[in-house]
Amino acid sequence: MQSMDYVRITDAASAKIKEILSKEGSSDAFGRVSIGQGGGCGCSGPGYEMSLEKEAQVQDIVGESNGVKLLLKSNETDALRGAEIDYETNITRSGFKITNPNAKTESKTESSHGGCGCGH
């Protein structure tokens, strides 16, 4: 499998994804990263979605980063180019964080909009 040139997965995120795959009994599954429907609140940047899938679709770009098999929709590769997926744990939260140099602001995979006034 070729290296994923669009999205990079950190060591912490790779370990967590592999742990999840092991618990699900799906060690051969792919991780899908996509831009969320609606793109989140305009003042907090785009929203992202992560999911597990058993097989690739025809339009998918397939690759690997840090030992994790990834799927991206071919029409989202430019928007995700250079993005990094990390897993962070601190006193207030734990979860995946996607940092994308193409977005105006960082967005977390959870639904927190950090004081955005748009009602989300």
Domains, the chain, ordered by start: 7-108 (2.60.300.12)
- What is the C-alpha separation between 9 and 86, in angstroms, rounded? 6
Q: Tell me the whole-structure pTM to 2 decimals.
A: 0.75
Q: How confident is the model at residue 16 (pLDDT cuts 50, 70, 90)?
A: very high
Pick from 1-5, 64-68, 98-102 the range whose average pLDDT is largest.
64-68
- Tens digit of each residue's pLDDT (9 = 90 or more) over 34-56: 987 654 455 555 688 899 999 99
Sign of the alpha-carbon dihedral angle for 17, 46, 107, 40: negative
Mean pLDDT of 98-104: 83
Residue 19 CA to residue 41 CA, distance in Å, equals 31
